Amino acid sequence: MSSVEFKNVTKDYQGNVILKNLSFKINDGEFVSFLGPSGCGKTTSLRIVAGLEKNSGGEVSLGGEIISSPEKSLFVPTRERNLGMVFQSYAIWPHMNIFENVAFPLRMKKTSEAEIKKSVEDVLQMVELGGLSERMPSTLSGGQQQRVALARGLVARPKVLLLDEPLSNLDAKLREKMRKDIRQIQQHFKITCIYVTHDQVEAFSMSDRIMIMEKGNILQFATPSEIRANPVNDFVKDFIS
């Protein structure tokens, strides 16, 4: 696990300011949700942590080490950041069975076959997919496919797990169960987690702290109880009501 820190991070795109001097720190083992309406900058912030986009200014640090700083001409590529990622679209490969989908990050690291087998079996048990390793993705439900994506994100024991609206494609009942399961798994692994969502229920039921964003700014970064008790302005008050 590892901390994540932004110092005066900006992002400009074709003359538009996407992020405006963001500064915050996520602590080791903390579950933080980036919450806000579409276009507020939450997914861009996550993608900058992932190395899928470059910040235009400021510093991004992982575990106290700078991983992106335009001013210092420094950029650590995604593959060297040791991150797990889970996306809304699942992004699992239809031509690979469940075992091979989950094993992929370990094969990229040239892990031994014995270690791959044990790690994949262990994480599949953790996400309640034990015994399904030979199945193909097309035979699984949406919830099961998302569990495969979660297992793949965890199998290499990343420093930070990044989740971008991972439950958006699931029905309400399954979303409720997955919220509880993701939080339980995160606590089991004691992994730092950043969770992007526009759903207040998800953010408030899962998070240690919530970062509420609007138009590229951080409006409030606090615990769910603190935000409910003392919303910083009318936008936050209306958004969480």
Q: What is the pLDDT of residue 1?
A: 56
Q: What is the pLDDT of residue 20?
A: 96
Pick the CATH number of 1-82+159-174+181-241 from 3.80.10.10, 3.40.50.10860, 3.40.50.300, 3.90.1170.50: 3.40.50.300
Can you give the pTM of this predicted structure?
0.93
**Where do the CATH 3.40.50.300 domains begin and end in the chain?**
1-82+159-174+181-241
- Lateral strand order in the sheet of 57-62: 16-26, 4-13, 57-62, 65-69, 74-75
The torsion of the CA quartet 56, 61, 65, 69, rounded to 10 degrees, works out to: 10
Q: What is the pLDDT of residue 72?
A: 97
Q: What is the pLDDT of residue 103?
A: 96
User: Quick one: tokens of 34?
Assistant: 């980036």
- Residues of the chain short of pLDDT 70, as ranges, are 1, 90
Q: What is the pLDDT of residue 201?
A: 93
CA distances from 118 to 32, 111, 112 (A): 30, 11, 10
